[in-house]
């Protein structure tokens, strides 16, 4: 018998955005949190650097706004940036009240204050952190509070398949409204129905679309793909941030070397030990991530090097052990003592700056459907995300979405019974190799053709392969019983197409999108967002102008 769960709010994703929203809304609403694995399997848990906010008198709200707009390459929306930055300090205080163990230090006055570090793009120290495992501290604190709340129910090892909307249910008299989701219970391989008055996508980004990524395995763009299929517009998918420094070691899967290492004086080196960043930007190691990643990529290709190096060994062993304990211990496991020798590094896909188009309340184009965190495009990041603004965005927009949902308490319930998932026309697959092969092929051609440096020809080749893959995947999806790998592959293939289509529309180089065919920024005609709408074909996709 089909199972249907009913809650006021369904949150798909259990990272910083989803958990903080749940805690802010649960006193007055019943909340379901769906996650593909445990809460420790998402991107938040692995975040090292921290969260940016104006927290001392030497800094200012105006400075944080100016830095964010500067790094955003003329595409960050000033209203969104101001909205977010102004709410940063109160969100840090909220986290402190919950007990997040942020690092602190004793000043000469004898007063203990938060220790603030500085990262690329910031003109002041404003990154609050918990040593070099901020995400872990944040996740564990939020989850501990959420698990002890009577109105919050966790559904772990559940993979959302698709959103349920009134249009999909055949109701077209009123505006399209999201009323739930079909979800695969990975424990028993059954599809369950979740019905809710409000649905929130907090599924993270899509960096798993690339062969090399700092992200965990679950970053497969699920929320973006589901929102697109539900009728939402998607913005700026061409801007994919590549973190400059991931540990280069065959056994070090997805291990990030925090930008804070460079913030505390770490130097990037060529294989011969020479520094090179000063040749690319006057800010050297503290230049924004897109510049640093391109510089590393350029030098690796120029030299034919498999990796470059990041050296912090000139700082004292005590400093390194206290500021970067996780990185220090992790590198030691691979025989690298960062107190004595440089760290081998390579760039890797790290953050999706585009996503589901939302307003300042987290609302999407579909009624009662919200998107927050990396899944959403709020306008904060523009063409390049400034370091440590992502956790800030998660917290601020979770707060804003909670406040907006709370104003909708009188909105009507959807009482009509939702159709159960239909498996009557499918069979068990006898060709699982199709999934694994297509998964590998997709991630490799996205890395080769739609990576740090792009060309028209590379994008055309990628689009051709993406189209063929989607045809194969759609046929497979129609004929065989659903699986977690198939759900993720289907979403990755769609997100790949959205990235490629967006990149083909941007005839310039700006921020994280760099094209050898259009190497110059074109402010006259390209200082605008790339907005794709589901009802449009690639030839008619529009670009929305930023005011």
Q: How far apart are CA 444 and CA 448, in angstroms?
A: 6
Residues of the chain with pLDDT under 70: 1, 39, 409, 411-415, 430, 536-547
Q: How far apart are CA 31 and CA 260, in angstroms?
A: 36
The whole-number pLDDT of residue 544 equals: 43
The whole-number pLDDT of residue 415 equals: 62
- Cα atoms in the Cβ-side hemisphere of radius 13 Å centred on 406: 14
* Residue 81 tokens, joined: 């940036």
Predicted structure pTM score: 0.90
Going by C-alpha positions, the residue among 121, 211, 194, 206 that lies closest to residue 153 is 194
Q: How far apart are CA 141 and CA 153, in angstroms?
A: 17
Q: Where are the domains of the chain?
A: 4-46+57-87+143-238+351-406, 241-348, 433-545
- Cα atoms in the Cβ-side hemisphere of radius 13 Å centred on 239: 33
Could you tell me which CATH class the domain 433-545 is placed in? Answer: mainly alpha
The whole-number pLDDT of residue 545 equals: 39
The whole-number pLDDT of residue 112 equals: 85
Residues with a catalytic annotation lie at 289
Q: How far apart are CA 186 and CA 514, in angstroms?
A: 39
The whole-number pLDDT of residue 288 equals: 82
**By three-state DSSP, how is residue 433 classified?**
helix
Q: How far apart are CA 44 and CA 431, in angstroms?
A: 34
DSSP 370-426: EE-GGGEE-SSSTTSPPTTHHHHHHHHHHHHHHHHHHTTTTSPP--SPPPPP--TT-
pLDDT per residue over 418-450, tens digit each?
888 888 777 777 677 888 889 999 998 998 899
In CATH terms, the fold of domain 241-348 is Flavocytochrome C3; Chain A, domain 1 (3.90.700)
The whole-number pLDDT of residue 414 equals: 65
Q: How far apart are CA 219 and CA 543, in angstroms?
A: 26
**By three-state DSSP, how is residue 243 classified?**
strand
Going by C-alpha positions, the residue among 22, 424, 403 that lies closest to residue 196 is 22
* Residue 510 tokens, joined: 């700006």
The whole-number pLDDT of residue 412 equals: 65
Other beta carbons less than 10 A from residue 188's beta carbon: 8
Question: 261 φ, ψ to 5°?
Answer: -60, -45
The domain 4-46+57-87+143-238+351-406 is placed in CATH, from the list 3.10.20.740, 3.40.630.10, 1.25.40.10, 3.50.50.60, at 3.50.50.60
């Amino acid at each position: 018998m089909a199972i249907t769960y009913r809650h006021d709010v369904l949150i798909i994703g259990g990272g910083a955005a989803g958990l903080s929203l749940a805690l802010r809304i649960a006193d007055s609403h019943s909340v379901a949190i769906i996650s593909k694995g445990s809460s420790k399997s998402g991107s938040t848990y692995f975040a090292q650097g921290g969260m940016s906010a104006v927290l001392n008198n030497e800094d200012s709200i105006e400075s944080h706004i100016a830095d964010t707009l500067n790094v955003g390459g003329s595409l960050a929306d000033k209203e969104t940036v101001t909205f977010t930055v102004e709410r940063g300090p109160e969100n840090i205080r909220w986290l402190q009240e919950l007990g997040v163990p942020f690092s602190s230090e004793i000043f000469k006055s004898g007063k203990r204050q938060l220790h603030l570090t500085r990262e690329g793009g910031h003109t002041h120290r404003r990154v609050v952190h918990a040593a070099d495992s901020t995400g872990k501290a944040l996740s564990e604190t939020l989850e501990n509070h959420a698990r002890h709340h009577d109105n919050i129910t966790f559904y772990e090892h559940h993979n959302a398949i698709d959103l349920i909307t009134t249009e999909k249910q055949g109701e077209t008299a009123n505006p399209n409204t999201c009323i739930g989701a079909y979800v695969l219970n990975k424990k028993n391989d059954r599809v369950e129905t979740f019905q809710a008055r409000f649905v929130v996508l907090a599924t993270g980004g899509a960096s798993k679309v690339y062969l090399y990524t700092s992200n965990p395995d679950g970053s497969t763009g699920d929320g973006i793909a589901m929102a697109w299929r539900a009728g939402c517009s998607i913005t700026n998918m061409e801007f994919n941030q590549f973190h400059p420094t991931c540990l280069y070691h065959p056994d070090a899967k997805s291990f990030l070397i925090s930008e804070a290492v460079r913030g505390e004086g770490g130097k990037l080196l060529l294989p011969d030990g020479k520094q090179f960043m000063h040749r690319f930007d006057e800010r050297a190691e503290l230049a924004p991530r897109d510049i640093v990643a391109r510089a590393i990529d350029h030098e690796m290709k120029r030299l034919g090097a498999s990796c470059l190096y990041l050296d912090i060994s000139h700082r004292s062993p005590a400093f390194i052990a206290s500021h970067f304990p996780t990185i220090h211990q992790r590198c030691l496991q691979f025989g690298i003592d960062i107190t004595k020798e440089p760290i081998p590094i390579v760039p890797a896909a790290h953050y999706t700056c585009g996503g589901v188009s939302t307003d300042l309340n987290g609302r999407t184009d579909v009624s009662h459907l919200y998107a927050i965190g990396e899944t959403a495009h709020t306008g904060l990041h523009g063409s390049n995300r400034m370091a440590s603004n992502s956790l800030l965005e998660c917290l601020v927009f979770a707060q804003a979405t909670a406040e907006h949902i709370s104003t909708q308490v009188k909105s009507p319930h959807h009482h009509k019974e939702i159709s159960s998932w239909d498996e009557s026309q499918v069979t068990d697959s006898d060709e699982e190799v199709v999934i694994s092969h297509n998964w590998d092929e997709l991630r490799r051609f996205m890395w080769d053709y739609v990576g740090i440096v792009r060309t028209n020809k590379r994008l055309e080749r990628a689009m051709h392969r993406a189209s063929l893959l989607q045809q194969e995947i759609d046929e497979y999806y129609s004929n065989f019983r659903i699986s977690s790998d198939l759900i993720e592959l289907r979403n990755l293939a769609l997100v790949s197409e959205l990235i490629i289509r967006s990149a083909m529309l941007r005839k310039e180089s700006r921020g994280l999108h760099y094209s050898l065919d259009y190497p110059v920024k074109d402010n006259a005609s390209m200082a605008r967002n790339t907005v794709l709408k589901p009802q449009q074909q690639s030839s008619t996709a529009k670009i929305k102008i930023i005011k």
